Structure 1
């Protein structure tokens, strides 16, 4: 039986806003150059839906475009995200590596469960060396339903997890925790929304607070 800490990536471990606007603007500049878009890049709209699977992103941002245009934009956007990560334009939240190191030393098994796509997640994990502490990184691509709860359920089943936490900034992370009998820790970070966080078991303003929760709460499921 393993006690686990399952982290979301975007807006939880990785400061997605450090590369998001750049990559999204690059993708929409390409659309503008092709005559497929007029006006400003819809940054605010994306912030409101941050954390949903990418197919939903493009259905929202490009509701009147053909599927082929959405798919091409998705491919280009992903390429620009990865290149920006590799170029060092992104950043982890303060204290990420120290926290992961401490959790690992305490005997917790660490996972990442993200709505991000595999090449994007691999770029972050590789660039920052997160595999030193993270047992496995899971992408929503691995689940046909594109449901974060099902993704966490796969981790729980594969590693026989009975006790643990899901740490994330959006409602999908909180719901995924509760659906799998785990404790939900909501992060009041860049993309979070207070009405969603209220459904979490704990709310934190910084990742170091996770250690306090672990020290004071006995997990029993």
Structure 2
């Protein structure tokens, strides 16, 4: 067990939130727009293909997906994704992993300080907060948009001075592991999330379900 940990920094998408449920439809809507604009050929996207971009900031996603696209068209497509995900959140289509809220409640009751850290935009974070009552569990909620979408490890480096040590970082993607390692913090990799290949190879601990945090912490 990580007995010394006092603050837990948690990723959201792929760690607490099964975000493909709303990201998949939003991505497909944006892709249809790109087809209509004759920017891309029609095709069907499976969830297994789309999840590679979950956990990335919007900027990182487009740089990986279509870096040479006209910036204006790309901005419009990105806006479609963001607005559709927010609409789906408002219509309560988002789903947390089973046991996520119970795990947060357990950690809160154990006296841990919980910090939400996501590569998302502010409106997405706020809609998620309101839908799931996340402010009941989290002492602080941080989104990449408020930091001009700099990398997670840089955001964490900026806020660490305000956090109670020792700190452990929990997430499902390389960006989360990087945030921990670059700041000399322990990491917990969520193997049930959206990691690709060996992204979680260097995690200090690995879990196969969010509830397993209750055994580690």
Distance 2:49 2:155 in 1: 26
Distance 2:100 2:12 in 1: 11
Bigger drift between 82-91 and 29-38 goes to 29-38
Partner of 1:196: 199
Distance 1:179 1:64 in 2: 30
Q: Shift of the alpha carbon at 1:144? A: 4.2
Partner of 1:103: 107
TM-score scaled by structure 1? Answer: 0.89
Q: Shift of the alpha carbon at 1:41? A: 5.2
Gaps of 5+ in 1: 215-221
Partner of 1:89: 93
Q: Could you say what secondary structure the match of 1:113 adopts?
A: strand
The answer to whether the aligner puts 1:133 opposite 2:149 as a matched pair is: no
Structure number with the bigger relative contact order (C-alpha 8 A, sep ≥ 6) is: 2
| Contact 2:24 2:50 (8 Å CA) reproduced | no
Partner of 1:205: 208
Q: How many positions carry a matched residue from both structures?
A: 212
Superposed, which structure 2 residues align to 1:10-25 within 5 Å?
10-25=13-28
| Contact 2:23 2:81 (8 Å CA) reproduced | no
Aligned partner (choices 152, 162, 167) of residue 165 of structure 2: 162
RMSD across aligned positions (CA): 1.8
TM-score scaled by structure 2? Answer: 0.90
Gaps of 5+ in 2: none
| Alignment deviations for residues 72-108 of structure 1 (CA, whole Å, 9 cap, x no partner) | 1111110000101111221001111111111111111
Q: Shift of the alpha carbon at 1:42? A: 5.0
Bigger drift between 61-70 and 105-114 goes to 61-70
Distance 1:190 1:176 in 2: 17
- Cα distance, 1:147–1:32 mapped onto 2, change above 3 Å: same
The answer to whether the aligner puts 1:6 opposite 2:2 as a matched pair is: no
| Contact 2:144 2:152 (8 Å CA) reproduced | yes
Q: Shift of the alpha carbon at 1:132? A: 0.6
- Cα distance, 1:17–1:47 mapped onto 2, change above 3 Å: same
